[in-house]
Structure formats: structure tokens, C-alpha cells
Structure 1
């Protein structure tokens, strides 16, 4: 039965690594979103709106803090593991250590500032809750990094597996927390599920996937040294995650805890198409790292393929938005339907923005990478601040739609600046990717570029 199921699944998923890995990563996001919806349906049944709103705001804050702490090394691993060669394990573990240290520091710093920054989250100052908050922040940083590592070694199936484990354990722990009437049961369930998922995924990653990747890779002269790239990409990621994580806090301060809960659960559903664009972009970066000359070809293919999926998905969400939100309760459908529809529409222009950022990463156009994410953050938060008091929750959705549309129009008008129509290699940075140790190139024979071997390999790859 297992072999038959795998055969049927393989017949549905495209064989081309670019689309196959992107589809598997998208499947991971869909599974995570579906099981995440089940989790929040249970949470809304077992906890009151105020508790759900405060706990979700806490999770959003921890997610933002973990993003600060992880230094955006997940995207760094996606971009550079393909060319790390025999230094892959060192690269992964070094990123883990840096992320854990930074995440713990920023989480503790946030707790010290809670009385002044977010007095509504004062329950986090209880010792037990504070420990779980710090653990969640550090654990989520590694959770994101291991996704990047699994993507970089072309193991997307394991991203699906870890997300299923995370979601199932999270629901089980939520039930335990509700039975014990723990106010912080939602936060505790997330932290406990992360621990289980981290153990399972990293045993596979470090004991099987990474050793095999190192064996199949050409020997490299030195591990990657890309401090400038990592710093610029990290700055851009902070703006991106601020745009994702701060609106629930704006709603909490402007409209209250109940409306924050309604916004947050609509965002969980509306964010799924955003994740699909991110997943296809991750697959694009991995394949382009193996074959830099095919970057324009891969980019156009991802744009065409993803646009069709995104349009269909947005249409479905718009039609069934009230039914989706009614699972959380009638008040969620009443307050969040317009918000969810606007978020679904905003995912279409976001596809262009997301693709432009990923192409710019491959071409090392770091000013564009940072500039787009900064502009998105400023527009979303600025418009939300203006529109929420006037339009309620719908103002948050309109802020996303207007911001992404403006950026997409700019990128389409200036597409020749970021999306070349002819094959080209990314600009070579001598301090960037390590060069494989090979025999000197013969006269007249082209050498290798800075991203490693250009021949594509067969594919053996999470919220």
C-alpha cells in the first residue's frame, strides 16, 4: 500500500526538480495551514476570545523575535548549501549556534521590556511562562533554519514530515493544556511541539541528509564567507517579518484583544498563498545555485506556473471565505470575511514582489533585496495604522492589497532591471561561494563559476 501511494503521489508531482521541490514545499505549507486551522478551531472552542487574542499576539511577538535571532540564516542556507560541499555540516551547525544565542538574548530582552512595550502581555513575566516563551523563540529560529537546510540539500519531503509532526503534537498538547485550564496552554503547546519536531528533523538532517550531500559534492577549498551578503539579506528579512508580525499587535492596541484574535486567524488562512510564493522561490534559488546560467529561464517558468496556481487559490479563498472562518466561530466569519478576501487578492501582486526578491538574491542585487522589503514594511504598517481606526479589520487587508499592488506595478514597469531575458551568470564575488577544488581549466575551456557546478542534479528537500 505504501509503495502504491508513493507511486500515485510521484505521478502527480512534476518530475522537473524546479517545480517538484516547489510543489513539495507548497504541500508542506498547505498541510501546515490545514492542521494549523484545526489547532485554532480547537483553541477557539476551548479558550475565550481574549485568551486566544493574547496568546496569538504572544506567538506573533515570539515569531518576530525569532526572526531577529535567526539572522535570516534560513534563506542563507537555501542559497549557499548547494555550494558548501564538504563544509555543509559546519555551515549548518554554525548557523544553529548563532541563531540560538541571538534568539535567547532578544527574547529575554523583550521580556524585560514587556511592562513598557506590551503591558497586555504581562502574563509572560510568570517564571514558567517566561521559560516557555524563550524556548519557543529559540526553537522556532532553529525550526526555520532546518527548513532552509533541508531545502538546500533537496529534501523537501522531510519539510512536509516535520510540519505534520509539529501540528499533531501541538494539538495534543493544546488538549492537555485546556484540560489543565492553563491560561498559557496555547503557548506551551507550541513550545512542546517544536521540541519534538526539532529532534526528529535534525536526527535525519545531520545523520543522513547532510552526510550524503557532502559525499556527492565536489571538494571545496574553504567554507563560505559571506558576511556582507548575510548582513544585507538579514536587514531585509527584518522588514519583511515586521510587516507580517506587527499588524496583530497594531490591532490589539487599536481594536482590542477580541479583534486581534479575529485578525490573526484570518491572517493564518490568507497567508497561505504568500507561503506558496515563498516556497517556489526557495526551489528557484536551489536550482539556480546549481545552474546559474538558467536563472532567467527558471524565473519565467516559476512566474508563469505560480501565477496560475495563485489565481486559482485566491479565487477559491474569496468564494469560501465565510465558510472557512465560520469554523472558528460565527463572530470570526462576521468580522474577518472582507479582511480574508482582501488578503487573498493581495497575494497575486505579492508573487511578483517575492520573485523579484529571490532573483535579486541570486544576482546579489542586495540593495534591491533590502529596498523592496523595506518599502513593503513601511507601506503595510503605515497604511494599517491609518486604515484600521476607520475601516476596522478590513483596513488591515486593504493595507496589504494596496502595498503589494504598488510594488508589483513598479517591478513590472522596471522588470528589465531585475529579470533579465537572456541567460547570465550571477556577478562573481571573490569572497563569496567557495570554489570547488578541480583541475585547472584547459585553455579555451570555461571554468566553474562561484556557485559551484552548473550541471543540475537529480532531486534526492515550514509556519
Structure 2
């Protein structure tokens, strides 16, 4: 129990007020937890997946608000440069983080007393490599894109490199909190990040800072990192190490990390290179139609990815239930996706019309195809997560490589023939061509015996 001096009081007269305040705080916390428990499923696998999905939706929603406000507070040219700079930073961070986010989700649950060391090692490796990649990008700006020359200013360049390195830790801390069964904290720290970047964006506009967009992003990252890692290192990690003191770190982590990273590069290439194919083949206007449809349709992919992260964590904790849990994710996520697909397919023209008549005219069929492709993607994603839990590395990399080759190959062939709709056909066809054999030969990856999960 705290003394009155420790609470900042001067005598015993302060104690009733402090106790009353503490009691109200506890009752409020209990009420919030009870309300969340009533809304969300009680099963950890599904509840944690839902919380991670909520976090992604918060990021998406506030991200849209961030750019909407930026268009009102900053000149169009400044917004364009800021968007390009942040897009480059996020791409470099995704390359530089070496897919250690999924690595932490896979191995932190069974890391025992090595938990803190494993988190800090991943932080240092990914942040250092991301900084190197960002510095190399700055050096190559005159060759790659002269439009981002403002990043070569020493102060702005330093912020760019720091933001890129910080974003890798931002991604990894989400993975660590997920692995340690703290998805509610992921929602909280993403909410802090969202609120901070909008407040700093307003401050930058008030001060008429040309680099206000980039600086607001970097500042919000710093605030989020301080808050989340204080909770992670002071509470989640020590609790996990005490509760799992007998666990030893599994061997051959480096080989797993390397193989998983290679597979993630194929997956990232499928996601990021199709827009470039559209731009190079059909031009900037069609690229805009594709990009907006992809942003909307990708929300369904995120739901599956978040459920998959929860699946990996639970499978490592209870490997004997992996098959049951995987089937649970397939059924539950399938029902969620079916509802989302129906809404998007039926409402695509009106959803896109909110952004302009051209988007509705040219992007409706594309958005419908992308939404439909989320259904076979569920089978692909669950298979990848099961293989990740079981450390079936060759098949893990092979599946992601196959998806990349099919998507890019079909898109390159269909775009000149069908226009932007060809990208949607490519995604749906590629996902179906992957999902069909996975369902037919499911005994190759979804077997009833417990695989290696340590």
C-alpha cells in the first residue's frame, strides 16, 4: 500500500480521497474489461484475432483522416511530397525489418527467460539494417527520383532515417505484444500513435513547417515507442519470463528467420509490384483506380492476417490443438469474410462513387474481384500460418513464391487485354490456383498429428 507521502500528500487527511480515487479507477477498469468481454468472444484464439483486426481498422481509419486533414492544412505539393516520402519510408522499413515481426509471433511464446534478449536482439538488428537501407536510399535519390531531393537536407534526412528505423521497431513491438497475449495493448498503442500524429500534424501546419507531415509521423512514432515499450519491458516481458521460466529457446532460429524472410519478400512483391505494373502498363489514372480499390479490398486480407497471427501464438502454446484451431480460424474467418464480401460486392459502385465518378466507373469490377479473392486467400494464409507454426520452411517459402509468380505473371498478361480489371482477375485466379490444391491435398499441411512447434 502506498503511503500518503508517496502519493504526494501531506498527511493522513489525504488518504480517504486517494483511496476513493483508486477505488473509482479500479471500478472503471473493471467495467471496461467487463464491457470488452461481453462484446468480444471468450475464446483467446478468436478474441485476440478480433482485437488485432480492430487495431488494423483504427490504423486504416485514422490514416485516412490524417491525409484528409493534411490536404486541408498543407499545400497540395507538400502533401504529395510528404506522401511519397512516407511511402518510401514504409517500404524501406518493411524491407529492413526482415520479417522479424512474424518471427517474434512464432518464437516469443516459447522463449522463456530468453524473451527480453530475443526482443532486444530483433530490435537492434532490424533498426540497424533499416537505417542502412534508408541511408542508401537517400544517397541514390538523385538517380531514383529527383522529386524527393528535400530529404537530402541534413535535418530532414536524419528524421527520415530515424523514422524508418523507428517504424521497424513499431512493427516489431506489435508482434511482441501479440506473442505475449497482449492484443489489447496493441490497440492502445496504435490509438496513441494515431492521436499523436494528428496533433503533431496540426502543430506543424500552425508553424508552417514544409516537412510537417514527415516530422509529425516521426514524432508520433517516438511517443508510441516510449509508451508501448515501457509496458512491454516493464510488465509483459517480466511476467512472461516468470510464468515460462522452464522453457528454453528453440535451436536454429537464424535458419528459420532467413527462410521466413525470403518467403515474406515473395509475398510483399505480389502486394507492391502489381501497382507498378498497372502504372507502367495503363498510366497514372488507371493506377489511381487500382490503388483505391486495393486499399478497400485489402481490409479483408488484413482480417485473415490478424487471425493468423493469433493462430500461430495459440498453436505454439498448445501444439496438440493446432488442427482444431486452424479449422476454427477457417470457419470463423470464412463467415466474417463472407459477410464483408457480400457488402463490398453489392456496394462497390456506391463505395467508390464517394471518391468520384471515375473511380466508380473504372474500379467497380476490380473491387468486386479483389473482394472475392479474399475467400481463397483465407485458405492460403491459414496454410502459411500452420506451416510457420510447424517450421515447414520449404513449403512455406514455396507457397509464397508460387503466389508471387502467379499474380505477377497473370497481371502482366491480362492488363494489356482487360485493362485495370485484369489485375482483379489475376488476383482471384492466382488465389484460386493456390487454394484448390491446398484443399485437395490438405493432409500435406493440415494433418491430425501434432507437428514440431517448439
Secondary structure in structure 2 of the residue aligned to 1:271: helix
The equivalent of 2:388 in structure 1 is 361
Indicate yes or no: 2:424 matched with 1:397: yes
Separation of aligned partners in 2, 1:208 and 1:308: 36
The equivalent of 1:416 in structure 2 is 443
Match of 2:307 among 274, 280, 294: 280
Residue correspondence of structure 1 range 374-453 to structure 2 within 5 A: 374-420=401-447, 422=448, 424-427=449-452, 451=454
The equivalent of 2:346 in structure 1 is 319
Residue correspondence of structure 1 range 203-282 to structure 2 within 5 A: 203-221=230-248, 225-254=252-281, 260-282=287-309
Which structure exhibits the higher relative contact order, with contacts defined as CA atoms closer than 8 Å and separated by 6 or more residues?
A: 1
Change (3 A) 1:375 1:188: farther
Q: Compare 6-15 and 182-191 and name the one that shifted more.
A: 182-191
Separation of aligned partners in 2, 1:118 and 1:4: 53
Indicate yes or no: 2:321 matched with 1:291: no
Change (3 A) 1:186 1:371: farther
The Cα of 1:124 is off from its aligned counterpart by: 3.7
Change (3 A) 1:315 1:136: farther
The Cα of 1:170 is off from its aligned counterpart by: 2.4
The equivalent of 1:457 in structure 2 is none
Match of 2:370 among 335, 343, 346: 343
The equivalent of 1:443 in structure 2 is none
Separation of aligned partners in 2, 1:125 and 1:218: 48
Indicate yes or no: 2:108 matched with 1:81: yes
Match of 1:101 among 118, 121, 128: 128
Separation of aligned partners in 1, 2:366 and 2:218: 29
The Cα of 1:352 is off from its aligned counterpart by: 0.8
Secondary structure in structure 1 of the residue aligned to 2:42: coil
Separation of aligned partners in 2, 1:335 and 1:182: 37
Structure 2, unaligned stretches of length 5 or more? 1-27
Match of 1:200 among 227, 232, 237: 227
Q: Contact (CA 8 Å) 2:111, 2:248: kept in 1 or not?
A: no
Separation of aligned partners in 1, 2:336 and 2:82: 33
Which structure shows the higher helix fraction?
2
Change (3 A) 1:120 1:196: same
Change (3 A) 1:371 1:328: same
The Cα of 1:222 is off from its aligned counterpart by: 5.3
Secondary structure in structure 1 of the residue aligned to 2:451: coil
The equivalent of 1:142 in structure 2 is 169
The Cα of 1:253 is off from its aligned counterpart by: 4.5
Separation of aligned partners in 1, 2:379 and 2:112: 32
The Cα of 1:208 is off from its aligned counterpart by: 0.8
Separation of aligned partners in 2, 1:122 and 1:254: 27
If you compute each CA radius of gyration, which structure gives the higher value, 1 or 2? 2
The equivalent of 2:38 in structure 1 is 11
Secondary structure in structure 2 of the residue aligned to 1:405: helix
Secondary structure in structure 1 of the residue aligned to 2:181: coil
Q: Contact (CA 8 Å) 1:273, 1:313: kept in 2 or not?
A: yes
Q: Contact (CA 8 Å) 1:50, 1:258: kept in 2 or not?
A: no
Q: Compare 52-61 and 99-108 and name the one that shifted more.
A: 52-61
Match of 1:92 among 119, 144, 157: 119
Structure 1, unaligned stretches of length 5 or more? 428-449, 452-463
The Cα of 1:233 is off from its aligned counterpart by: 0.5
The equivalent of 1:373 in structure 2 is 400
Indicate yes or no: 2:188 matched with 1:155: no
Deviations 1:5-32 (A, max 9, x none): 4322211211111111111112212222
Separation of aligned partners in 2, 1:180 and 1:381: 45
| TM-score normalised according to structure 2 size | 0.85
Separation of aligned partners in 1, 2:207 and 2:275: 27
The Cα of 1:329 is off from its aligned counterpart by: 5.1
Q: Compare 400-409 and 46-55 and name the one that shifted more.
A: 46-55
Deviations 1:58-109 (A, max 9, x none): 4343323212211111111111111111110011001000001110111122
Q: Compare 225-234 and 404-413 and name the one that shifted more.
A: 404-413
The equivalent of 2:335 in structure 1 is 308
Indicate yes or no: 2:68 matched with 1:41: yes
Change (3 A) 1:313 1:348: same
Indicate yes or no: 2:154 matched with 1:131: no
